[in-house]
């Protein structure tokens, strides 16, 4: 087989394997092999072969019913990404989550998307919104995305964006935090504070919740305190 054909085939296989990891990261629960095949647009047998390879490397796992989830090895790999940032942020995320009774997470810019780098769910809350590391959505929607865009000139924003985005980001810059309601997940609200660090992509620290007695400004004030702690630790 010609080298170019072999390279193309290997690239397609790698691309599909990466896409499976992205699909599982975006899912709110385990997926069947058929569901994964459908989302990839490939035959079930192809999805199965890819999953077997990923499973051999500990990147995915299957339960007794055959449902597929991300594996523990993914957590180990993720821990190596922006290690210092995660190490400094984790105690703050934990404190906020337990104080406010909300899931708190660290989001960073990844191309045109906002990706969750680390998250902590509250220890004693009756119910909380899950926000798994690796979850991603367009940076043009949601509170973390607006908090990230507030740190960038408009020339660096994605071309496709909601009509209201510029006004929302201006408001974020003015008050120092961003909010969103039903933008990423129906019924879910979010508050985010910008986290700008020297030499790193723009980031944000945020919470997600369904209902609370706290005002957005109260939540934002708590996020801003932790953002300052993280910034001081990393920027010296």
Domain ranges for the chain: 3-75, 81-235
Domain 3-75, architecture per CATH: Orthogonal Bundle (1.10)
3-state helix/strand/coil string of the chain: CCHHHHHHHHHHHHHHHHHHHHHHHHCCCCECHHHHHHHHCCCHHHHHHHHHHHHHCCCEEECCCCCEEECHHHHHHHHCCCHHHHHHHHHHHHHHHHHHCCEEEEEEEECCEEEEEEEECCCCCCCCCCCCCCCEEECCCCHHHHHHHCCCCHHHCCCCCCCCHHHHHHHHHHHCCEEEECCCCCCCEEEEEEECCCCCCCEEEEEEECCCCCCHHHHHHHHHHHHHHHHHHHHC
Assign a CATH topology to domain 81-235.
Beta-Lactamase (3.30.450)
pTM score, whole prediction:
0.72
- Give the pLDDT of the chain (236 residues) as one tens digit per residue: 454 555 566 688 899 999 998 888 877 689 999 999 999 999 999 999 999 999 999 889 999 899 999 887 776 666 555 678 888 899 999 999 999 999 999 999 988 999 888 899 998 765 677 777 788 889 999 999 999 999 999 999 998 888 999 999 999 999 999 999 989 888 899 999 999 988 888 999 999 998 889 999 999 999 999 999 999 998 86
């Amino acid at each position: 087989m010609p080298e170019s054909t072999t390279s193309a085939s290997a690239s397609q296989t790698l691309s599909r394997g990466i896409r499976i990891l992205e699909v599982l990261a975006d899912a709110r629960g385990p997926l069947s092999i058929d569901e994964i095949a459908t989302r990839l647009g490939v035959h079930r047998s192809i999805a199965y072969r890819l999953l077997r390879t990923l499973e051999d490397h500990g990147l995915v796992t299957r339960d007794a019913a055959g449902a597929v989830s991300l594996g523990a090895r993914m957590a180990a790999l993720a821990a190596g990404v922006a290690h210092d940032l995660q190490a400094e942020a984790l105690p703050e995320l934990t404190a906020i989550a337990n104080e406010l009774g909300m899931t708190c997470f660290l989001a960073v810019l990844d191309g045109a998307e906002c990706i969750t780098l680390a998250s902590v769910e509250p220890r004693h809350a009756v119910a909380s919104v899950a926000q798994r590391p690796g979850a991603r959505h367009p940076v043009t929607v949601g509170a973390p995305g607006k908090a990230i865009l507030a740190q960038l000139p408009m020339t660096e924003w994605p071309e496709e964006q909601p009509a209201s985005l510029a006004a929302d980001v201006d408001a974020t810059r003015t008050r120092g935090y961003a909010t969103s309601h039903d933008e990423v997940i129906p019924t879910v609200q979010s508050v985010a504070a910008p986290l700008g660090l020297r030499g790193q992509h723009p980031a944000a620290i945020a919470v997600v919740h369904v209902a609370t007695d706290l005002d957005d400004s109260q939540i934002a004030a708590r996020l801003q305190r932790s953002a300052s702690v993280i910034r001081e630790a990393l920027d010296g």
